[in-house]
Amino acid sequence: MLTVKQGAALNIGAVLGTGVIALPALAAQVAGPASLLAWLALIVLSAPLALTFAALGARYPDAGGVATYVARAFGARAAAVVGWTFFFAVPVGALPAATFGGAYVTAVAGGGYRTTLLTAGALVVLVAAANLGGVRLSGRVQLVLAAVLVALLVAATAAALPSARWDNLTPFAPHGWAAIGPAVAVLVWGFAGWEAVTSLAADYRDPARDVPRAAWIAVGVVGALYLAVAATSQLVLTTPSEAPLADLLALRLGPGSRVVTAVVALLLTAGAMNAYFAGAAKLGAALARDGALPGWLAKGAGAGQVPRRSLAVVALLAGATLALAAGTGLGPRPLLLLTTGSFVVVYVLGTAAAVRLLPRGSWARRVAGFALLSTLGLLAVSGRYVLWSAVVAAAALLYQQAAARRRTQRLRSSTMCMAASSAEAAPPSMPTSEPISSFSSSSP
């Protein structure tokens, strides 16, 4: 079972891992130094979102996670939509997540995008293998990775701050203030993850107590470190970097620190992917248990069980995405935006379920209302990338309808078989009343 420390580490790894090693550069390319406002806005919005999912996880601990909450609030069809949206977003998001770590290896070893993709493939295999050991092993591994992450970020920030220059913040909005909106859409990736570990709520020793505690710890750590790294990157690095941690450390520790940073970046990426794979695999098993996915995936949905079949599907789909990228030269940014669009849809439905389920007048319900309004705003800035979620939602509803027809047909077939069996087993019928009546009339 998970402890508070392990749960907090899974949250930190899911939210902080790949975002902190790549997003400062992507956001700066979109909005320049004004991207710091996007960071600040998402930190403020992230806390209510995290606490909302923690309140739901404490109240309704189940492997279905967000899908379970939506089912309770809005029914099975809505649950299938949100479950499919998250389950199929994780393999798509595996490419940008893994390539963010692979970029650090490429910066040291060379080889271009080929090296990045090979590294990404190795990470998928590594994470899938780690999850075969179950959530207890994943939690212990994640605790070590989170400690390394925090230590590295503190060291990088402290080493680079003496080189900070306020001139790097001018011009503050080189692409206009309107660019902050697209920067927010990019940065949603960095704050996705609070929903990923809700599927593990039932694996805590005491969900009602431990889930909120783990969330509070993770919110504080994630907010402080994200803002510190983003601000330091803007103040110190004259041009956006694809490997900001390596560049920050190299300022004080020399070029040799890049090798160490590359290794740590891989560990951080593995930590984030580990949390997502664990949550998605558990969710897939729960969806199958509830009839929203094929039944053979349901094995491992119970607390403490290992959903190996669902995990295999997640890993295979992630591998297929990597193969597609290798064959077409597809970069990580489009898939990143598709994934964040999917997560925003999950957030909207999840927070709407929280508003309906949490007790009236409670602080948790008020926080959920604020989180719902915030996620609706994120939905607006996500733009056309939400269309992927619409396609997945349509597929989920079609599967639900087909499954319902199959159940109805099985029920009818079973009913007809029972009726036929009853007819065959019935005793011979008595003579009809007509012969009796004729016999009576002919009597004297």
Q: Are 311 and 87 in contact (CB under 8 A)?
A: no
pLDDT at 350: 92
pLDDT at 234: 83
SS (H, E, C) the chain: CECHHHHHHHHHHHHHHHHHHHHHHHHHHHHHHHHHHHHHHHHHHHHHHHHHHHHHHHHCCCCCCHHHHHHHHHCHHHHHHHHHHHHHHHHHHHHHHHHHHHHHHHHHHCCHHHHHHHHHHHHHHHHHHHHCCCHHHHHHHHHHHHHHHHHHHHHHHHHHHHHCCHHHHCCCCCCCHHHHHHHHHHHHHHHCCCCHHHHHHHHECCHHHHHHHHHHHHHHHHHHHHHHHHHHHHHHCCCCCCCHHHHHHHHHHCCCHHHHHHHHHHHHHHHHHHHHHHHHHHHHHHHHHCCCCCHHHCCCCCCCCCCHHHHHHHHHHHHHHHHHHHHHCCCHHHHHHHHHHHHHHHHHHHHHHHHHHCCCCCHHHHHHHHHHHHHHHHHHHHHHHHHHHHHHHHHHHHHHHHHHHHHHHHHHHHHHHHHHHHHHHCCCCCCCHHHHHHHHHHCC
Instruction: Measure the CA–CA gap between 262 and 87, rounded to whole angstroms.
Output: 29
Q: Residue 17 carries which side chain, given as an amino acid letter? A: G
Instruction: Measure the CA–CA gap between 223 and 289, rounded to whole angstroms.
Output: 36
pLDDT at 435: 43
Task: Transcribe 297-341 into DSSP letters.
Answer: G-TT-STT---HHHHHHHHHHHHHHHHHHHHHT--HHHHHHHHHH
In CATH, 4-407 is 1.20.1740.10: yes
In eight-state DSSP terms, residue 64 is T
Tell whether omega for the bond before 171 is within 30 degrees of 0, i.e. cis.
Answer: yes
pLDDT at 27: 82
Residue spans of the chain under pLDDT 70: 17-19, 21-22, 134-142, 196-197, 238-246, 251-257, 303-304, 414, 416-444
At residue 2, the 3 state secondary structure works out as: strand
- Domain ranges within the chain, ordered by starting residue: 4-407
Closest by CA position to 377, among listed 49, 35, 51, 9: 49
Q: Residue 323 carries which side chain, given as an amino acid letter? A: A
> Token pair of 111, please?
């080889």
Q: Are 370 and 58 in contact (CB under 8 A)?
A: no
Cβ-based neighbours of 286, under 8 Å, separated by 6 or more: 62, 63, 64, 65, 67, 68, 83, 199, 298, 301
At residue 204, the 3 state secondary structure works out as: strand
Q: Are 142 and 274 in contact (CB under 8 A)?
A: yes
pLDDT at 427: 56
Sign of the C-alpha dihedral computed for residues 377, 380, 386 and 391 taken in this order: positive
Neighbours of 316 (CB within 10 A): 13
Q: Are 284 and 90 in contact (CB under 8 A)?
A: no
Instruction: Measure the CA–CA gap between 173 and 156, rounded to whole angstroms.
Output: 26
Closest by CA position to 76, among listed 389, 349, 294, 291: 291
Closest by CA position to 132, among listed 296, 16, 387, 306: 306
Q: Are 335 and 95 in contact (CB under 8 A)?
A: yes
Q: Are 73 and 352 in contact (CB under 8 A)?
A: yes
pLDDT at 444: 34
Instruction: Measure the CA–CA gap between 394 and 392, rounded to whole angstroms.
Output: 5
Provide the CA 321 distance to its chain's centre, in angstroms. 17
Residues in the chain: 444
Q: Which residues pair with 2 in a beta bridge?
A: 204
